[in-house]
Amino acid sequence: MTDNIAKLKEHLPRQCWTDDPDIIAPWLVEWRDKYQGQTPIMLMPGSTEDVVQCVNLCRENELKIVPQGGNTGLVGGQIPQGEVLLSTRRLNKIRDINPVTNALVVESGATLQSVQDSAESVNRKFPLSLASEGSCTIGGNLSTNAGGVHVLKYGTTKDLVFGVEAVLANGDVYNGLTSLRKDNTGYDLSRLFLGAEGTLGIITAASLKLSPRPGHIQRVMVGLRSVADALKLLDHCRSGDSLAMFEVIPKIGLDLVTTYIPGQSNPFVQDHAWYVLMDWEVETEAEGQSLAETKLADALDRSLIEDAVIAQNGTQAAELLALREHMSAAQKHSGGSVKLDITIPLDLIPNFFDIADTAVLKIVPNCRPVGFGHLGDGNIHYNIAQPIGADKAEFLSRWKDLSDCVFDIVDNLGGSISAEHGIGIMKREDLANRADPVKMALLRQIKSALDPTNLMNPRVMI
């Protein structure tokens, strides 16, 4: 391998690689510290042509590639274990933005925040919204088919893309960049790369769909008794297509945020068993206030909610959103946490919580289930915190027992073991054991057709 790495260094421009361990080190550790990796070299291409050269040299020298964007993935797919690490962060240009076609062409290493800002500069909105948007990259978002808080209205990342440009394992460049909303000329090849986690090629650019920017976002937070009431509230609060966010937070989750994250406080005088954070996208502030007051007053009369806070300005709206966005970071302070990302049919979510909470407590008595997230689209981040005072390593050694238990419940309820985080390394065996055999066979055939030597992210997904 040493000789092969030397050939990369010899033929690539100096700015396209580094073997400095201090520079590479931060990109070898997942932010939760669950996965730690190693690599002999980090490639840093600055153009699609650079990526082609990197891929060709790696293939010719029998070096496997792990692509990486912002290193915000949560299933280990971006962490190399001896493979060459290819960072897309220098591929960060906004190539074009067109408010007439509502399309934005951007390179894969640009951050989600930069895309959102570019869209706003022409009075448009790119609706994908994640807590990590300041550091996650568009290529990573596409490769994992990220979800976020606005799936309820806008769909997942797959629904926000016209097409992609990608470098294949043989060095060819697939150019699917377009702004056409209708193109019925064969298979939609761009979609093969969405959710593929870098196993079929390296996304170098994408043409993204923009939406009209709402005149006003009305944000509210409510306290209520149960997830069942939250589900009833979801139906009650729909108003045309204006409901854009519906996030559920348990009391334990809010308590963790207010305890461990500086500057965060509970906006309610009294505690509640559950909380819901909602956004309506409307044209005017007056319309938003009227809609919120009407819907919430009716919900109080029907005993769907116990209390409500209506944001009166942008500062208050940001403070409420911060309580949701800090959920994951706050849990790091409470010891070990088994983190599962699942989808359940909406009507069965209360059943899931009842069954799962009881089941995991039987496996690890006094563990603390922390289920939160995107109730509006059925995606629950079902995390299980260690018992207070327990040994962290001992608790995390039960990860498989707990995840198998929860995944069995998910399967029985007709859900999915991965909603928006992908498969990566963490769920590779779970996918193989639980997925329809015909689906697995098709996945392997597609992988073999596009990447016969298993050059691209060889340990991930399948």
CB neighbour class for 56 (10 Å; exposed up to 12, middle 13-18, buried from 19): middle
Are 205 and 114 in contact by the 8 Å Cβ rule? The answer is no
Which are the contacts of 311, defined by CB distance < 8 A and separation ≥ 6? 218, 219, 220, 317, 320
Kindly state whether residues 186 and 265 are assigned to the same domain. Answer: no
Kindly state whether residues 292 and 233 are assigned to the same domain. Answer: yes
Instruction: Identify the pLDDT of residue 239.
Output: 80
Asked whether residue 439 is assigned to any structural domain, the reply reads no
Label residues 127-155 b or e (16+ Cβ within 10 Å = b). bbbbbbbebbbbbbbbbbbbbbbbbbbbe
Mean pLDDT, the chain, integer = 96
Kindly state whether residues 319 and 339 are assigned to the same domain. Answer: no
Decide if pLDDT at 332 tops 90: no
Kindly state whether residues 237 and 316 are assigned to the same domain. Answer: yes
Mean pLDDT of 204-219: 97
Report the percentage of the chain scoring pLDDT > 90: 96
Q: How far apart are CA 43 and CA 383, in angstroms?
A: 35
Q: How far apart are CA 240 and CA 10, in angstroms?
A: 60
Number of folded domains in the chain? 4
Asked whether residue 31 is assigned to any structural domain, the reply reads yes
Q: Which of 212, 232, 265 is the last residue of a domain?
A: 212
Report CA-CA distances (Å) from 250 to 27, 37, 254.
Answer: 33, 34, 7
The H helix count followed by the E strand count for the chain is: 16, 18
Question: At 6, which CATH number?
Answer: 3.30.43.10
Question: At 402, which CATH number?
Answer: 3.30.70.2740
Q: How far apart are CA 331 and CA 261, in angstroms?
A: 10
Tokens of 82: 């001896």
Asked whether residue 46 is assigned to any structural domain, the reply reads yes
Kindly state whether residues 24 and 56 are assigned to the same domain. Answer: yes
Kindly state whether residues 354 and 310 are assigned to the same domain. Answer: no
Asked whether residue 449 is assigned to any structural domain, the reply reads no
Kindly state whether residues 359 and 375 are assigned to the same domain. Answer: yes
Confidence category of residue 131, pLDDT binned at 50, 70, 90: confident
Are 246 and 152 in contact by the 8 Å Cβ rule? The answer is yes
Kindly state whether residues 10 and 62 are assigned to the same domain. Answer: yes
Instruction: Identify the pLDDT of residue 115.
Output: 98
Kindly state whether residues 247 and 344 are assigned to the same domain. Answer: no
Decide if pLDDT at 401 tops 80: yes
Asked whether residue 207 is assigned to any structural domain, the reply reads yes
Mean pLDDT of 333-342: 93
Q: How far apart are CA 324 and CA 247, in angstroms?
A: 8
Tokens of 110: 């640009």
Asked whether residue 460 is assigned to any structural domain, the reply reads no
Question: At 135, which CATH number?
Answer: 3.30.465.10
Kindly state whether residues 251 and 153 are assigned to the same domain. Answer: no
Asked whether residue 450 is assigned to any structural domain, the reply reads no
In this prediction the pTM is 0.94
Decide if pLDDT at 1 tops 80: no
Alpha helices in 145-214 (DSSP H): 151-154
Q: Which of 87, 114, 131 is the last residue of a domain?
A: 87
Helices 349-363 and 399-412: crossing angle in degrees, nearest 10, is: 150
Confidence category of residue 34, pLDDT binned at 50, 70, 90: confident
Q: Domain range spanning residue 12? A: 2-87
Q: Which of 267, 300, 328 is the last residue of a domain?
A: 328
Cβ neighbours of 23 (radius 10 Å): 11
Element (H, E) at 287: helix 285-301
Instruction: Identify the pLDDT of residue 31.
Output: 80
Q: Which residues pair with 250 in a beta bridge?
A: 274
Kindly state whether residues 164 and 188 are assigned to the same domain. Answer: yes
Element (H, E) at 360: helix 349-363
Residue type at position 224:
L
Report CA-CA distances (Å) from 379 to 344, 347, 366.
Answer: 7, 12, 25
**Best CA proximity match to 418, nearest among 461, 358, 354:** 461
Q: What is the dihedral of CA 149, 152, 154, 159, to 10 degrees?
A: 90
Asked whether residue 272 is assigned to any structural domain, the reply reads yes
Q: How far apart are CA 171 and CA 51, in angstroms?
A: 9
Question: At 221, which CATH number?
Answer: 3.30.70.2190
Kindly state whether residues 357 and 428 are assigned to the same domain. Answer: yes
Are 77 and 197 in contact by the 8 Å Cβ rule? The answer is yes
Instruction: Identify the pLDDT of residue 286.
Output: 97
